Chains A and B, each alone.
Chain A
Amino acid sequence: KAGVTQTPRYLIKTRGQQVTLSCSPISGHRSVSWYQQTPGQGLQFLFEYFSETQRNKGNFPGRFSGRQFSNSRSEMNVSTLELGDSALYLCASSRGISSYEQYFGPGTRLTVT
């Protein structure tokens, strides 16, 4: 069974630009969550989607947004990039009902210059 896939794996952007990251969950998983990982803050929750609806959102500014499609694939968007947005962005999927384990993808390493 294929795992969670994320594209692209690496990205370099300039301050002020915007970026879109993509996540394909494990087949059959309907819930997708996004996390930001930095050396100083560790893993921090961004948002969670289930059946195309945002179920929860973390404490991040409105520049961070996401969506989920009918096939459960998800995208997150960061507008007006800042240097502090440089991080590993991780996507995790779970069945979403009666199964609570989240399985992570390899992440997208975003560098903002």
Chain B
Amino acid sequence: EDQVTQSPEALRLQEGESSSLNCSYTVSGLRGLFWYRQDPGKGPEFLFTLYSAGEEKEKERLKATLTKKESFLHITAPKPEDSATYLCAVQASGAGSYQLTFGKGTKLSVIP
């Protein structure tokens, strides 16, 4: 069974204080690992897809990396508008389905 564990559950940062969120996963074969951002009362917003160990992707203050067992979302010099819940999900390889298995998320609060 595919499993995704995110840590920490919640993180409070001062504006400008860089940090990383962790996503560890167990999957029979990884097709892709996805990062989403979710604001309260809204649907998840797609951020990144990573497909193979060693891959990195960046978007503004966010950088996602992938190893064979975990992924990190690095946030550099965060701003209050980066406050949200960040979700990690895996998609297993194999024919027939694109089902995502999600972690419980990390709730990030950035204090001015």
Contact = CB atoms under 8 A, between A and B. Distances in A.
Interface of A: 4, 31, 33, 35, 42-45, 48, 55-56, 58, 90, 92, 94, 96, 100-107, 109
Contacts of A100: 31-32, 49, 91, 98
B53 interface: no
Provide the main secondary structure of the chain A interface.
strand
B39 to A, nearest CB: 10
Contact of A56 (B45, B89, B97): B97
Given A101-B49, A106-B43, A42 B103 contact: yes
A48 B99 CA distance: 7
B26 interface: no
B100 interface: yes
Size range of the chain B interface in the assembly: 20 to 34
Contacts of A92: 43, 100
Contacts of A109: 41
B47 to A, nearest CB: 10
A45 B101 contact: yes
Contacts of B91: 100
A44 to B, nearest CB: 8
